Copies of this chain bind each other. A is one copy, B any other.
């Protein structure tokens, strides 16, 4: 039995072999800029389009992650990847040169968590020895696809978030009775929408699903927020984090405020870097987890955390047709053993 309660999956054999993150210039200038494996000089990463730059970031993150655990692409059985671009082209073109089996996924900004969960299932269950889990986002590709041409210079409301230019990659491997940093449990997210149609307020759209996922996990495992060193959400930013804490406190009598952090509030300096409500994008939680959080694990500052990737499911077409934004939140427990 690899499940506990209604929602929680249990893994006994999943080791995080390594992780890496590649970011853009603005991210490199932020408060945790020193932890990333590579900081681009501009938005292009040597490529002639922003979309190819996003693919290049994924390839670099994968290379760094594989080198850190002394592996090559030949040691990888399956690549689990996806991104925000239409038809996931950031990932489609990054995985192809690897020449490995590929599961394409779409979870919007929850993709890093979803790829870690599928990687954990495959390695824990002995369907793969080793996977590469990765994702990316790019401010310029996201702006032009989802919003306006960059040169238009449109104004942004205070609830708007700034898409991170960055890619994170993890090498996940099967290790019976593992030691070190392990993925030990997970909750696959349940999509929830409560009528939010404002595409400049993703945090509010994602918070209810995030609350549902966290509550489900705590109920299934009969644990409390204080049992964890950190409850880390993906990119709820200021508005969404406030709503999450409110929902859990007022509707579920669960107080996470003492241990909660949000990747969207860690990567930029909100005042100096003018990012309004905070950061967003698949790359946001991916690089914060891959670099900042994994470094804290390695320094012994963290031993047991919950990482909840948060995603807003929608497209420009669905938004223009007045459809509400669906939130989803996938949870991964990461422990040192």
Contact = CB atoms under 8 A, between A and B. Distances in A.
Interface string A97-108: 001111111111
Prevailing SS type, chain A contact patch: mixed
Number of copies: 2
A295 interface: no
Given A87-B86, A125-B124, A317-B85, A191 B106 contact: no
Nearest to A85: B315
B188 A321 contact: no
A51 interface: yes
A268 to B, nearest CB: 24
A107 B9 CA distance: 25
A74 B122 CA distance: 25
Interface string A158-169: 000000000000
In this complex, the interface size class of chain A, counting residues with CB under 8 Å from chain B, is: 35 or more
A89 B314 contact: yes
A118 B107 CA distance: 15
A86 B127 contact: no
B125 A2 contact: yes
A36 to B, nearest CB: 27
Interface of A: 1-3, 7, 9, 49, 51-52, 78, 82, 84-89, 92-93, 95-96, 99-108, 114, 117-118, 121-122, 124-128, 145, 187-193, 313-318, 321, 323, 326, 328
